[in-house]
Every structure is written in structure tokens, then in C-alpha cells.
Structure 1
Amino acid sequence: MSLFEDQAPRPLADRLRPQSVEEIVGQDHLLAPEKPIGRMLASGHLTSMILWGPPGCGKTTLARLLAARTGLEFEPLSAVLSGVADLRKVFESARARRASGRGTLLFIDEIHRFNRAQQDGFLPVVEDGTVTLIGATTENPSFALNAAVLSRAQVFVLKRLDEAALQEILGRAEETMGRPLPLSDEARSLLTTMADGDGRYILNLAEALYALPPSTRLDEAGLMEAVQKRAPLYDKDREEHYNLISALHKSLRGSDADAALYWFQRMLVGGEDPNYLARRLVRFASEDVGLADPQAMMHALTSWQTYERLGSPEGELALANCVLYLATAPKSNAVYTAFKEAGRAARKTGSLMPPAHILNAPTKLMKDLGYGSGYQYDHDAEDGFSGQNYFPDGLERIEFYEPVERGFERELKKRQDYFNKLRAKRKN
């Protein structure tokens, strides 16, 4: 550090960075004395770990403080800026340090950005204790990290900071600045909502507010005008994308129209392609509504076509119509289940031929072989139903489709039962 470096202006978020593990907010499920990391600190020994959590929840700060508390040399690397050569330098320093009886904590920020070879590169030094690894990631470790890394490190999930934690951070900012934030109570609550669980971001917002004239006092509208609202955390090709589409799909299946509309809007606001959402709505109509409401698929397709003709944002209302229609529609996965069961039977039975009586016989040879012999034309039967067997010879009849007693499928169940009774009567 230079002579004047400590006098240089520092961002409020940096000045308020916790100086001890006890000052970290919102992570008591890991740091309390009886919790996993709390127990490690009490024993004075850290194991390698992966810290998984959203931006601004304190992953880097926690790693730095864990190193200080356990007497380990803190060696930080960013997976975005570092490569194998940087890792080797750290390993050499760690080995030299170990020879003199000192340990090293290797912190890798955004560890999910290392490729497989880079991740494999630090396994030996983790295994032999040369370094204690702490990796930080915003991505699901199950998808982002090698199985070998996960087998050598415990995964700890850091929570998005709730309103109480964010309010505590704001209180510390006010104490440091020596005056309250220039906000009404309602605007102060809105500020925590705008931060979306990110402690670093809320301090950046607070710093921008402290730059306003001291006489300023903002209500909710004034706050929205004074600071730019943060875009929701959403990455269209990462885990959050799959989390939200899962939430939408399950809300639709659970017939919760309001929750479904909320998740639909969360994805739109996050920048999701409405065409992707339209495809998923058609899929839902087919899989989860099925024949309980035969109009559902037509409605989904029509809503998609309306969006294609109108575009955004007007066309998105047609998709919202579809969301509410599907959420309130009767549900049945009987077709989906029957389709899968029939597929299993088809793969299991191989190449069984259809029974001869339902084969066409366009040639004399085929007629001589019995093709079409004994076929009963259903329209000639008094009730329009012959009751013949249409399964392959040697395969017992299987009932794949079992309609539910909901929506239009209740009518289909009556029809199915009617044909089953006639079939049993013809068989006897």
C-alpha cells in the first residue's frame, strides 16, 4: 500500500465490508455456532468448500474472513481472469508456505467458469492439503462443476439477503455516514425491494442517495426517479431460466392462475423470448390438460399465432390469456401416460404382426395367405361396433388409456366404458 492509498476515496460498499464473520448478515444457517461453518470455526479447521449463492450475498467476504480466522494465507483468483499458469504460481507459493508450516486458502471466484481441465488441475493440491479450496459460484454446482471437484468439497448454499438483512446493512450505512437516508418509510422499504437481495447493490444505491442535497426527502416515486431500478436476476441459458419455467409449469398444473401469471411475467421482464413461452404453453396444453379440455391446445396455438401477428408487447397479452385459460382448465395427463405406456409395450413386443383379419389384401397371394379374412366391417354391425381384436395375436389386450372424471374426459370415460361393455358382450 502506498503512503496515500488509505486516504483515497473508497466506495461505501467497500468501507462497510464486514471485518469479522459475526458481522456477516443473512447467513446464520451456515455461520451460527451450531451450524456447519460455525462448527468448523470452533474447531479451528476448514475443509474445502463451494459457496453457492446469488450476487451480493457475501461469498468473497466470507472466504476472506474464514482465511483470517483460521490463520491461512488468502490467495484470491478469478476464473474469468486467470488460467493454468496463475494456478501454478499459487501452488508453488503454497508449497513453499507449507514447508514453513503455514497453510493457504485458495479462493476462486466464479469457479464455474473454469473448464474441465482447469478444474482437474487443482485437485492434487486439494487432496494433499497444500491448499484449502473455497470456490464461489452463482451457478448450480451440479451442472457447473466436475464430479471430482464436488467429491472433495462441501457445497454450502448462501441465501439471497432478505429485507431484515438489507435493512441492517442500511442501518450500518446511516451510522457510517452520520445521517439517515433521505427516504420516507415507504421509499426505504421499496429500496430493499429494488436491491433484489444484493447487499453490495443496496449500498451502491445508498451511496447514490447520499450524493443528493442534504435537504432531499424522497417518496417512492422520487426514489424510482432518482435511481435506476435493477433488472431482475435472470439468465436465459442458465439455471434461473429452468427454475422459472419449472415454477410456471407447476403453477399451471396446480391450477394457480395468479402464481402462473406471476412467473410468466417474471420471465418476460427478465427478457425471455415470448416464442419460447408460447411453445411451453402448447406443450402444457398437450401434456397436462389433454382431453380434459380439447380446446386447450387450440387456444394455446391460437394465442401463439396472435403473438406472431402482433409481436411485443401487444401480442404478449394473448399469451397471458392462454396462461389463465390453462391454469383454470381441468387437468388430465391420461393421454400422456397412455402414450408412454404404449411406447413401452411397442418396444417390448418388437415386430409382432397385426392380426391377419385387419390386413389389406391387394394381391391374390395375400388373399390366399388369409390377409383380410374374417374382418368384420364395424358399420355393418347394428350398434356400429364389431368388438373384434385389433392387438397382435399372442398379445393380451392392454388398457393404456384411462380417462379421468374431470372436464370433457368424463364424457370420454363414458364412451370408453360403453365400448368395453360391448366388447365383453361380443367376446361372450
Structure 2
Amino acid sequence: MNVKTLPLVLLFSLNTLVASNISSTIEKSSHKFCKNTLLNDESQKEVDFCMETKTKYPKVSSTNKTLEKHLRQAIEKELKAQNSPKSHVLKEIKEGNVGSAMGHESSLSLKVLSATDKTFTLEGSFYAYLGGAHGMGNTIFINYDTKTGKEITLEDVFVPNYKKKLKEIVEKEYRIQSHIKEDDNLQDKLDWFDNKFVLAEAIGFGEDGLHLAYNAYEIKSYAAGTTNIIVPYALLKSIIKPNGYLAPLAKAQKLSEGKVQHSFSDALSSMNLSAERISGSKLKLILQVSKDPYNYRMKANKGSISLSFPQLSSKSEVLSKSSQNIDKLMLYPKGHKIYNLSQKKNIVSEYLLVEGEVTKWTDEKERKIELILNMPENIDSLKVRYRMTVKNEKQFFNTPYKGTQGQQGFQNYDVEIR
């Protein structure tokens, strides 16, 4: 993995793991290095040029000692691959890149995406501000052989000549998750640079399927952030090597369980919506949202998380509701007054809305809304629109940046649960 251009600031966290008992303790540190120098412009002004780093990472342990050893080595490898704050500052000064007094900062969030006796995958989310109009984010996946600790490639897990079939499967699933037709133009409907579908450069092995992350400028503009796709392994059975690296993950996931997942992220937040039919007409929805203040410096301190259902109208269709780290969770049925951003006034709702308010959003805690819905008999698939909106004293910031405009005038992710 080539990330040597990014200075060191590390934010590590562990995710749920498969087939291996892993625990961790969190280590934290913060470093800042400054050096007095002259601006590289006509003013030749004397400034203190600084680089600030923040570190949060797990010390992992596991009952599988081979896995534990190679996990620790992989994490240590990523730590050593980064530049220190001091070396970054000295390098920038030497190369004459100090164009303003504004300091540099960066972050790396690394988590264990999955771990089995055969493979483990690390997911890294990078962000760096090195001057200019905005910072730059990037997501990578690194897949390892648990027994040897060596990196593995897609050629190691899929059958020969897999690429064409993989591309077809991923594109079909992406169009379904994005709620567009098979022949819809990607450029017109989803703001791709062109209408040619391509596989992401970053591909990892998750518990819930194959993860693909399209970074900024890969298929869309910077403002669109990162585009994520999760493809269930059940759809990839024809190209997965039998008894190969992915066998434990593919075996653990059954498409017949009726569980689907949609994940999106951008510079402001990451959002994950999972849906599972639990019995008969009952459907469980879980929306998880996180906001990373290191990656977005707009100083927002309050906000809301919203799910709306164009096919539903009554409160009675929500059998139960619960939330985590949300101050107030409300249901607005069809006909209730709700605020519309574009009209800047209250309007009458056209369909069911569930909204969670956060009155003090200044931390990195995950927010969650969990609902159990009663699906009407005449609905074969459920349409769900969801978003996250935070605000400071002057303005709103919304995720997604561009999506489907909902009844409140905000942009929404628009998915269909089949």
C-alpha cells in the first residue's frame, strides 16, 4: 500500500469480527511539531509552520495467536509507513512549500473489517489537509493471509478470468442499490464522469460481502465524497474459489436470511443502513451514523438523522423504535406539520417520517436508530430515504451532498429494500 505522501495522524478502531475471538485496548496520543521559517512568497514573512497529529489505535489480542501476531505486524507496518510530524515539516520547508501560515493536519482511521482463520482485512480511511481549498480523503483495503501474514490479491480468491463476471455482478448490484434501471446512464443519473462502469481500486473482504470504495475523483467529483458498494458473497459464488480464502466468509453469510445493507460515506460522515425481515411482514431497520470532526472542520454542534418512507403513512406501521446517543426520536405521520428547508416554513407531510434530534453533536460517538416496521401486504419492496444533517450557527451541512430531494427539501440517499 502506497500512502507515504500522507503525514502521520492515526485513528484506529476495531469492527465486529468473524470466526475469531479478538479483543483490544485503545491507545491514544497527540503530537505537534512546529518550526520557525519564512513564507515562500513575496512577503518573506516569518511564521511558525506546524504539523499536528492525533493517534488512537488498538493493541489487539486473540485466542488465535497466529492471527494476533500478523494483525499486530500489519498495524505496525502501517504505523512505520507514515511520515512523522517532524519529518513532514522539515521536508515541506526544504522543498519551499510553505505558502501560508496555516498548519497541516492529517488522519488515518484503520479498522479490522473482517478476520477468519484464512484471511483478515484492514480498512484505512485517510484524510489530509496540506494547504489549498480543501483536504483530501481516501479509503483503502488491505487483505492478508492469516497464516503467513502476506498480502493477498483478487487473483488469489477468485477463479481465473473472473474480472468480466465480477464487473457484471457489481454493476448490477450497484444499480439495484442506487435505485436506477439496467439501461440508465450513469453520468446522467448518478453524476459519474462518464457512462462506463468500472471496478473500484479499493476492494476488501468484509463480513457482509465484498466491499468496494470509489474515492474522490475516481468516478465522481470531490464533492460527492466516497461511493461505497457492498456485494453479498452469495452473488459471487460462481467466481469464488471453492474452499479458498473467502470460503469462511461466504459460508457465514446466507442470502436467504433476507438481510441487506447499504453503506455510504463522504467528507462529513459515514452512514450504514441494514434491513432484515425478522418474521412474516415484520422488517427490522437499523441506521448507524458517525461524524468525524477531524475530517470536516465546519464546527457543527447539533443535527438530525432522518428516515422517511414514501409508501407508508401511519405511526401504527412502526411497531417499535429505539435509539442510541440521540436526544429525541419522533414519528411524523402523513398529514403532520414538518419543516421544509427550501420553502423555509412548515408544510404538511406527504408520508411517514422518523427523525432523531441531537442537540449537542460535538463528539465522535456513533448514533443509531432502530425500527421494526409492519410491511403492508400490497408492498413487495420498501423504499427508504435517509440523510444526516448537522448545522452550526450559520448554515446546514447535509449527507448526501447530492441525492434525492425529500419532502423536507433536504437531499437523501434513496434505496429500495427488496
Calculate the TM-score normalised by the size of structure 1. Answer: 0.24
Greater gyration radius: 1
The structure carrying a bigger helix percent of its residues is 1
The structure carrying a bigger strand percent of its residues is 2
Calculate the TM-score normalised by the size of structure 2. Answer: 0.24
